[in-house]
Structure formats: structure tokens, C-alpha cells
């Protein structure tokens, strides 16, 4: 049975429909990317799936439990990283986690806090005030807070938003580590590259669910882009060589430029350039 289910899930504010009849299933241990531009309904969907707001119609279930029922029991099963997590800045990282862990029924909260802080690389800073932490460190602490009670499902809402490249890379590596442990992760993002790197499947939403598939299939179907190669000149031999490449789906000449549609632009570019140079072409 899927661990996350949404059935005709809809949210309206007055006459405005924010999420429209969402049907979705996520299997246990899967990392699902929830991809869409700002305002597409991603955060609203997460809020409905985690029981923070009620759906206008339809329903959702997490690990067999409906999200419009016993909210306290539901929150034992889920961990949530919000887009802008808040902490008590004058308290230490340890004290913050002790406070938040108190909301859950836990056999050994102290051990769980130690484990999550070590997992997030924050154990050595556990006694430092959170107000002294960088944004990236606060994001890792927010992940620790979401994980401290060992939830069945982890919801991450734009986990790298606003972070510098190094902090973003650290967070992505942590998500990969959590995925390797078999955790179910629902990851909201507007970054296709991030979704491709981290997720088993990607659901594309813009108020309605547009499509759901693997990253490779989605890129082939919807995110193909033209590649333009500028040469000093295009000889018939170069043109025939490029046209004969198995991954070149379409080619046209525009002056001294070749405009191409490739099966996989990222993967095929190096081989394309190699073939052009091998045929005597001078790329500029």
C-alpha cells in the first residue's frame, strides 16, 4: 500500500483554486520530487498532506491514516521541514531539540537528539546558541528537528531555498544520505536539476498535477532544448557526420551555426563536439 495517498485533493480560497483535484501515490522508501514554479500549489499541498490546513474537498492519507482525523497521531508519523523554519535563537541547538522532541512520545529522547545532531554534523556545536548559526547550519538543525522522532515520512519544502551554493550542496548530500537509509521523502522544489539529482520520480504541478514520471522520461518528453554549435564554416562532411549521429533527432543550418535537437543534451554534448572536430569542423 502506498505510504502517501491523495485523492481528488482540492484547496480553494474563495473563488481561487490553489490545488485542483490532486491524485497522487508515493511508495514507501521513495523520494518524490514535487516540482513547480512559485505559486503552483506546492506548499499548500504539503500543508494539506501534513494536516496543517484542511482540504476544501478530497482527502489524503499518510501510512494509512487520513490527514483530516487525529492530527497528533498523524504528526507522530511525519517530519516537516518548512521553507522558513523558526528556532529559539537564544537557546542552544541541544535545548531547541529537547523542546521540540517534547511534543512526541519517545522512549529515549536524549539518544535520538544525539543521533540526529551527529547525523547532521552539529554535535560539536550542540551547546552553541542557534542565533550564532549560519543559515546553512540552521537548515541542518531544522532537518534534525524533522527527524528527531523517527518519522515514517519526511516532507521537505524547498530545502535549499535561499542557501548559498556550498550550503545547498551540503543539504542535498544529507537528503541523499537519508534516501540511502530507505526513508520516504516528499521534496518540494522549483529546481529541476535538484529534483533530477535527488528524486526517484518527479511530479510536476501547476495548480493541477500535470505529469508524474522519472526524471529521465520527463526530460526527454518535456524539457528538451535546442543546442546551437557555432563553427567557422560548415562543410558538407561535417553536416553529414552530425546528421548521422544516432542521438541527433533534428538538425538545421543557420549560416555558420548548427541548431540541433539531441536525445539527451547534457549527456550528448561532449560526443557531439568530438564528432564535429573529428570531421574537421572548427568550433568557435
The residues spanned by each domain of the chain are 4-221, 225-278
Closest Cα partner for 232 from 281, 185, 179? 281
Please tell me the predicted confidence (pLDDT) of residue 218: 81
Mean pLDDT of 129-137: 95
- The dihedral built from the CA positions of residue 49, 50, 51 and 53, taken in this order, carries a sign that is negative
CB atoms within 10 A of CB 151: 20
Residue 226 scores a pLDDT above 80: no
Rama region for 90: left / alpha / beta (φ>0; ψ in -120 to 50; rest): alpha
Cell 474537498 sits on residue: 57
Whether 231 contacts 215, CB under 8 Å: no
pTM score, whole prediction: 0.78
Whether 25 contacts 212, CB under 8 Å: no
Whether 171 contacts 140, CB under 8 Å: yes
Please tell me the predicted confidence (pLDDT) of residue 165: 87
Mean pLDDT of 103-128: 95
Mean pLDDT of 6-33: 97
- The dihedral built from the CA positions of residue 112, 117, 123 and 127, taken in this order, carries a sign that is negative
4-221 homologous superfamily: P-loop containing nucleotide triphosphate hydrolases (3.40.50.300)
Residue 231 scores a pLDDT above 90: no
Please tell me the predicted confidence (pLDDT) of residue 225: 63
Indicate the burial class of 190 (C-beta count within 10 angstroms; 0-12, 13-18, 19 or more): middle
pLDDT in tens, 174-224: 999 999 999 999 999 988 888 989 999 999 999 999 999 998 788 766 655
Mean pLDDT of 142-161: 94
Whether 11 contacts 208, CB under 8 Å: no
Mean pLDDT of 234-246: 91
Please tell me the predicted confidence (pLDDT) of residue 237: 92
184-189 and 31-35 beta bridge pairing: parallel
Residues 6+ apart with CB under 8 A from 147: 79, 116, 119, 154, 178
Helix (H, G, I), strand (E, B) or coil at 244: coil
- Give the C-alpha distances (Å, rounded to integers) separating 232 from 144, 176, 244: 55, 44, 21
Angle value at C-alpha 62, between 59 and 63, nearest 5 degrees? 135
- Give the C-alpha distances (Å, rounded to integers) separating 122 from 17, 58, 148, 177: 41, 41, 13, 16
Mean pLDDT of 219-248: 83
Cell 531539540 sits on residue: 97
Binned at pLDDT 50, 70 and 90, residue 252 comes out as confident
Residue 268 scores a pLDDT above 90: no
Residue 3 scores a pLDDT above 70: yes
Whether 3 contacts 154, CB under 8 Å: no
Range of weakest confidence among 46-50, 86-90, 200-204, 276-280 = 276-280
- How long, in residues, is the chain? 284
Please tell me the predicted confidence (pLDDT) of residue 220: 66
Please tell me the predicted confidence (pLDDT) of residue 224: 58
* Set of cell numbers at residue 284: 568557435
Mean pLDDT of 219-239: 80
Amino acid at each position: 500500500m502506498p505510504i502517501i495517498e491523495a485523492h481528488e485533493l482540492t484547496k480553494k480560497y474563495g473563488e481561487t483554486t490553489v490545488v485542483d483535484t490532486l491524485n497522487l501515490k508515493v511508495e514507501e522508501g521513495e523520494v518524490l520530487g514535487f516540482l513547480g514554479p512559485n505559486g503552483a500549489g506546492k506548499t499548500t499541498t504539503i500543508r494539506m498532506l501534513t494536516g496543517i490546513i484542511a482540504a476544501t474537498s478530497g482527502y489524503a492519507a499518510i501510512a494509512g491514516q487520513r490527514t483530516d482525523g487525529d492530527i497528533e497521531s498523524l504528526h507522530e508519523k511525519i517530519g516537516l521541514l518548512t521553507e522558513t523554519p523558526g528556532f529559539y535563537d537564544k537557546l542552544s541547538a541541544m535545548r531547541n531539540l529537547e523542546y521540540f522532541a517534547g511534543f512526541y512520545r519517545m522512549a529515549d529522547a536524549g539518544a535520538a537528539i544525539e543521533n540526529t545532531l551527529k547525523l547532521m554534523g552539529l554535535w560539536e556545536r550542540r551547546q552553541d546558541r542557534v542565533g550564532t548559526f549560519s543559515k546553512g547550519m540552521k537548515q541542518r538543525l531544522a532537518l534534525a528537528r524533522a527527524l528527531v522522532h523517527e518519522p515514517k515520512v519526511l516532507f521537505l519544502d524547498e530545502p535549499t531555498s535561499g542557501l548559498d551554493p556550498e550550503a545547498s550542496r551540503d543539504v542535498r548530500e544529507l537528503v541523499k544520505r537519508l534516501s540511502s537509509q530507505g526513508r520516504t521523502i516528499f521534496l518540494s522544489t522549483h529546481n529541476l536539476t535538484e529534483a533530477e539529482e535527488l528524486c526517484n520520480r518527479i511530479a510536476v504541478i501547476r495548480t493541477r498535477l500535470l505529469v508524474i514520471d522519472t526524471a529521465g522520461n520527463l526530460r526527454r518528453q518535456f524539457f528538451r532544448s535546442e543546442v546551437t554549435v557555432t563553427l567557422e564554416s560548415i562543410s558538407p562532411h561535417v553536416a553529414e557526420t552530425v546528421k548521422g549521429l544516432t542521438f541527433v533527432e533534428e538538425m538545421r543550418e543557420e549560416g555558420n551555426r548548427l541548431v540541433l535537437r539531441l536525445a539527451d543534451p547534457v549527456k550528448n554534448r561532449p560526443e557531439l563536439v568530438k564528432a564535429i572536430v573529428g570531421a574537421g569542423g572548427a568550433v568557435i
